[in-house]
Amino acid sequence: MITGIGPALVDRICMIDEFPERGGHAVVKKVERHAGGAAGNVMFGLARFGVRTRFVSTIGDDGDGIFYRNEMERAGVECFFMIVEAETGRVDVYVDRHGERTFFVYPNASGMFYPFLRERDYRWGEFFYLDPFPSDKSLEAHIEIARNVKKFNKRVILNPGYPYSRLGIDGLRELLRHTDIIFLSQDEYEMLKGAEKFVELAVITKGSEGSMAIRDGEKIHTNAFRVRVVDTTGAGDAFAAGFLYAYMKKFDLETCLLAGNFVAGYTIQKIGARAFPEKREIDDFLRNYSK
């Protein structure tokens, strides 16, 4: 069982041929609306795979808030939302024909989060997955949550993303002290060199070059699966869902990395961050690839 704590964001994905030069323009050929946010994506994916999940966040009392809750609950995620008088958080995502994307974030309600969890919330489950809110109070909130998680001998998983990674080791030290597992992109790893010394397990995604895990100084690397890329939005979240699903089932680290690669490779062949495979598909994959 796992609880995700991060921003509830509704993605409006705009498909274009290519990004224009500054001052230029591009024609939007298609627009789709999807529920998003890293922690929300991971909880959604794990719920689709049959894992009991909870998601804690802040939403607005509006149409996007209803849409977001419905999307999560349809997948089986238990939602714990604080509803505020603001629009639900939103991200405009522009994706070119190569699958590369650029994000424009409207924090709205997701920027108004504070730790409202009670003791019984910390007693539930084994893992807590933390993802930055678009707020200058996000780090303080996550440090408080992580401290409480450790009081109950539960495990903290951190996805620092760019907002936390740019703070460097010194700026993130207090949160890292309470973190067990960290997920990083290659660029984030460069900004947080040495983070693996603070945690039990560091997992680094490297795009088309695959992924790597570092535990007790040992490095394990796996190659990515070659697929046709349509939209890379949420690729890292899909990877984390696949990795954690295998990890919770006690597979070895190499198989966990391969499971992450598989789910990420599956997702980026479609539009949106939540185009996850079915449970039977990842279970079949694990049966075929596990040692």
Please report the pLDDT score of residue 176 as a whole number: 97
Please report the pLDDT score of residue 233 as a whole number: 65
Please report the pLDDT score of residue 226 as a whole number: 83
Min mean pLDDT across 51-60, 67-76, 89-98 is at 89-98
Residue count of the chain, please give it.
291
pTM: 0.90
> Domain segments of the chain: what residues?
2-285
d(CA 192, CA 203) in angstroms, rounded, equals 12
CATH, range 2-285: 3.40.1190.20
**Measured at the alpha carbon of residue 33, what is the angle toward residues 5 and 4, in degrees to the nearest 5?**
10
Give Cα 287 distance to the centre of its chain: 25
